[in-house]
Structure 1
Amino acid sequence: MGAPRILIIGPPGAGKGTQSSNLVSEYGIDHITTGDALRANKDMDLSHLDTDRDTPRAYMEAGDLVPDVVVNEIVEEALSNADGFVLDGYPRNIDQAEELESMTDLDVILSLSVGREELIDRLTGRRVCDDCGANYHVEFDQPEAEGVCDDCGGELIQRDDDTREAVENRLDVFDEETQPVVEYYQDREDFVEIDGEQTPDGVWDDIKATVDEHAE
């Protein structure tokens, strides 16, 4: 089997990051996210795109939303340098999905399916070390001492974007902007829905079997 080309889709809290790490370790492929791709190519010359700014860095430093045309360019650059990949966080809308069609051929599209209340429980229960950034969960991954990081002894906090109000908003945005991307792909033969409410090991077993079947 050659290096697989994988798209992983799912709402916040579905486990995309965990399973992408597993895919990278198992198949020796690149994990490509829009954030990482932007940081890696922040000085790319965009003058040929006739955009308001000439580099991604200019958008990022100004705090402006990076337009789709710039994101598309950066993702295409990242994909062209990868011998196999798991693409995570792109495409976020139908226009980006159509652009992706012209960039590469995918071996498999993995859609992690998790119910809304489960997602809310996962995200609102997350706690992060204020010093080293280690992640915990009040139910699923508790530290040895409540509120204290096992790694460095720092204080565990709830991030602002993990409050229930913020989580509900993030899920609403996903439903409005990215759920149509799932529907865009779901009739394709290379689209596979994965039950994301299993244990992480159970999810991984299904993902590995699916990739092995589709990326021959």
Structure 2
Amino acid sequence: MGVALGVTAHPASPLGGDWRGNVGPPGPLLRCSMGSKIEGKIEGRPASARASGGCQKQGQRKQSSRGFSEAVVQVARVAAPLLAKAMASKLLRAVILGPPGSGKGTVCQRIAQNFGLQHLSSGHFLRENIKANTEVGDMAKQYIEKGLLVPDHVITRLMMSELENRRDQHWLLDGFPRTLVQAEALDRICDLDIVITLNIPFETLKDRLSRRWIHLPSGRVYNLDFNPPHVQGIDDVTGEPLVQQEDDKPEAVAARLRQYKDVAKPVIELYKSRGVLHQFSGTETNKIWPYVYTLFSNKITPIQSKEAY
């Protein structure tokens, strides 16, 4: 839900100031000369008395203006967080959801290339923080080494920090939020424009995962069918060996996909209820991509017109 803050123009104050409480040139009836003697009569009253009354009105006007200005400051303090969120809403905020093997990485790469969005992968940030031995990286490493999922409070802390550094950028989140707790944390700092979820048949996912090999240090993913390495078992960039993760092996895939479905369901329902969810189904990324391209084209101008790969 976006926030719109408007300002209505008001006429100049009859006291010579403006609607913001700024004091303008005083009117002729309120002009006085401090410390000078004014002789003569104005409207039947001594000029000195009229001048004295004018000075009193000026003092009242200044006091009124000061009070009004203080009220404006108080309003500004309350409105500042809402204004920041409203400004953020002018930038495109998107999330991609999908089970392991659904092709999220490939779709994210194409969106980033075609629309200039920053591809923000939670897995990438985890690896970077673990490598740099940051506090949050060390916390995450303890869970990963035990074969456990990184808990909500750790991954949320990591991602909030990364997003804070990208407040002035269009971005696409990949791998976050995974749970309802994470989605609620994200909701507190921004309103999403697009959430896409990839629905891929179970058999297709099972085949893709069983054919998937990974370069662990970088997170680069290869598929022996449609994205094989130049040399089997070797990373194209570093020449280091590729591995197949235990949970990518056929016997573990079914349990992994069931787990994803259980955790992702409330997140999907949340975004569906807000009218920002877009679902794409199919078995081939190249056939899904044109529809994704059209969706984003309606929200942001492409930086290149390459609709298919």
Question: Fold match, TM over 0.5?
Answer: yes
Aligned residue in 1 for 2:223: 136
For the pair 1:120 / 2:206, whether they are aligned, the reply is yes
TM-score, length of structure 2 as denominator length: 0.56
Number of paired residues? 203
Call closer, same or farther: CA 1:25–1:141 in 2, change over 3 Å.
closer
For the pair 1:187 / 2:267, whether they are aligned, the reply is no
Call closer, same or farther: CA 1:163–1:29 in 2, change over 3 Å.
same
For the pair 1:74 / 2:158, whether they are aligned, the reply is yes
CA contact (8 A) 2:212 2:221 kept: no
SS at match of 2:188: helix
Task: Measure the CA separation in 2 of the matches of 1:118 and 1:37.
Answer: 28
User: Tell me, which stretches of 5 or more residues in structure 1 are unaligned?
Assistant: 46-54
Cα-to-partner distance string for 1:33-70 (whole Å, 9 max, x where unaligned) = 2233345556899xxxxxxxxx2133134346644223
Q: Which has the larger radius of gyration?
A: 2
Task: Measure the CA separation in 2 of the matches of 1:38 and 1:62.
Answer: 12
> Shift of the alpha carbon at 1:22?
0.9
Aligned residue in 1 for 2:255: 169
Task: Measure the CA separation in 1 of the matches of 2:129 and 2:255.
Answer: 29
Equivalent position amino acid for 1:11 in 2: P
CA contact (8 A) 1:127 1:136 kept: yes
TM-score, length of structure 1 as denominator length: 0.77
Aligned residue in 1 for 2:178: 92
Aligned residue in 2 for 1:104: 190
Tell which deviates more after alignment, 204-213 or 2-11: 2-11
Task: Measure the CA separation in 2 of the matches of 1:148 and 1:11.
Answer: 24
Equivalent position amino acid for 1:202 in 2: K
Call closer, same or farther: CA 1:154–1:105 in 2, change over 3 Å.
closer
Q: Using CA pairs under 8 Å that are at least 6 residues apart, name the structure with larger relative contact order, 1 or 2.
A: 1
> Shift of the alpha carbon at 1:10?
0.6
User: Tell me, which stretches of 5 or more residues in structure 2 are unaligned?
Assistant: 1-89, 302-309
Aligned residue in 1 for 2:287: 202
Call closer, same or farther: CA 1:56–1:150 in 2, change over 3 Å.
closer
> Shift of the alpha carbon at 1:120?
0.6
Q: Percent identity?
A: 31
For the pair 1:12 / 2:96, whether they are aligned, the reply is no
Equivalent position amino acid for 1:171 in 2: L
Task: Measure the CA separation in 2 of the matches of 1:16 and 1:29.
Answer: 15
Aligned residue in 1 for 2:62: none
CA contact (8 A) 1:56 1:66 kept: no
SS at match of 1:178: helix
Task: Measure the CA separation in 1 of the matches of 2:259 and 2:182.
Answer: 16
Task: Measure the CA separation in 2 of the matches of 1:141 and 1:57.
Answer: 30
> Shift of the alpha carbon at 1:148?
6.0
CA contact (8 A) 1:107 1:215 kept: no
Task: Measure the CA separation in 1 of the matches of 2:183 and 2:155.
Answer: 12
Task: Measure the CA separation in 2 of the matches of 1:128 and 1:121.
Answer: 15
